[in-house]
Amino acid sequence: MENAVFHIDFDKVLPYDPSGAPGTTSDVFAGARISLHITPCDGMDKAACEKFAPGYLHMVRFSLHRAAKARRISSKILAGMFSKVEIQKAAKEWKARFKEHKAKKAEFLKSLDPATRRGILELRKDIRAKRKAEGKK
């Protein structure tokens, strides 16, 4: 998404010194927090952007984790933000949210009358078949 911008916010910016002398830092990511701010683009309102942001940030975290694991990130602090434990925690939370969403969807379908439920399920099946024919997931 071309209008998604990552910001790296710093609690305190210290002068860089490779030796890490007092009052300086040897790691440019000292005191950093990573956040995602999305500017709504054409056809996407602010609410849609806010809904999209956590999943997108989740994907970026996994990508940075892979880079840290492959030792392509020289900053120990940045690499540490994406430790195996952090990634597992995020994956567990995502899985729980997905499971909750699936349960809410099933509960919603059960609340509908049988004819409406059948119509929605058939429509969903048709949409999936069409997307598969187009080569989309």
**What does the pLDDT look like over 48-104, one tens digit per residue?**
777 777 777 777 777 777 787 787 877 887 777 777 777 778 778 889 989 999 999
- Which residues neighbour 109 within 8 Å (Cβ) at sequence distance 6 or greater? 117, 120, 121
Q: Are residues 11 and 63 in the same domain?
A: yes
The gap from C-alpha 106 to its chain's centroid, in whole angstroms, comes to 24
Per-residue buried b or exposed e for 87-123, using 16+ beta carbons within 10 Å of the residue's own CB: beebeeeeeeeeeeeeeeeeeeeeeeeeeeeeeeeee
Residue 72 belongs to what domain range? 1-82
Q: Are residues 125 and 92 in the same domain?
A: yes
Q: Are residues 9 and 26 in the same domain?
A: yes
Q: Are residues 10 and 24 in the same domain?
A: yes
Q: Are residues 72 and 90 in the same domain?
A: no
CA angle 23, 26, 29 (to 5 degrees): 100
